[in-house]
Structure formats: C-alpha cells, structure tokens
Amino acid sequence: MNAVEEYIAAFPAEVQERLHQIRNLILKEAAQAEEKIAYGMPAYKTFGKPLIYFAGYKKHIGLYATPSGHAAFEKELSSYKQGKGSVQFPLDQELPLDLIASIIRFRLKENQSKAKA
C-alpha cells in the first residue's frame, strides 16, 4: 500500500468508499498527477503546482481545490459549508462527483496554463 491507500484505510468503511471515489476521480481526470500526502491528507500536483487535496472527517469529506477552484464554482458549491479554498461534503449526502470532476478539470487547465506562461 502507498501512503494515500494507508490514509484511506484508516477510516470507517463508509468514509473509505467516498475517499476512494474522489481519489479514483482525480486519477481519471488528471492521470499524470503526482500523488502524495501533504498537510496530513492526500495531495495531487500537476505541472509542479498543487492541483487538489481531500480529507476524511467524522461527518464530512473535505475538498481543497485552492481558492481559485472554489471561486470558479461558487454558485455550484453554494449549498455546502465552505472556507477559503475548501468545501465540506456531508457524509449523509451523495458526493457531487460530476461537480468534483469539473473542478479537477478546471484546476488541471489552470495549472497547465501557468506552466506554459
């Protein structure tokens, strides 16, 4: 097991399932992303820049797509609790996987544009 798999395995089965869903989505949408643990949570980088992070908690899944990733989807994320560069998806609700995929693609294009500049 790698460090991200070990991180996910430390959670109850219900949380593990959701963490796996997000991880698989990131690896699908950003296959070239570098995967590691940073700030105590799974972290992904593309083009040498942070792409997205996620974390499991007792009552929610945290997604951290930097302030720009959240600002670009402000309307779509408005029904979720948020902080600067973070959003909380409650465990008693379905994960908005299509929205998360859109955020990943947005951040990937943003990192690619920065790398070309």
Q: What is the pLDDT of residue 108?
A: 97
Assess contact for 87 and 76: CB atoms under 8 A: no
pTM assigned to the model: 0.94
What's the chain's Rg over C-alpha atoms?
A: 13
- Is the CB of residue 66 less than 8 Å from the CB of residue 85? yes
The proportion of the chain whose per-residue pLDDT surpasses 70, expressed as a percent, equals: 100
pLDDT of 67 > 90? The answer is no
3-class state of residue 86 by DSSP = strand
Write out the two tokens for 113.
């544009």
In this prediction, residues 69-92 reach a mean pLDDT of 94
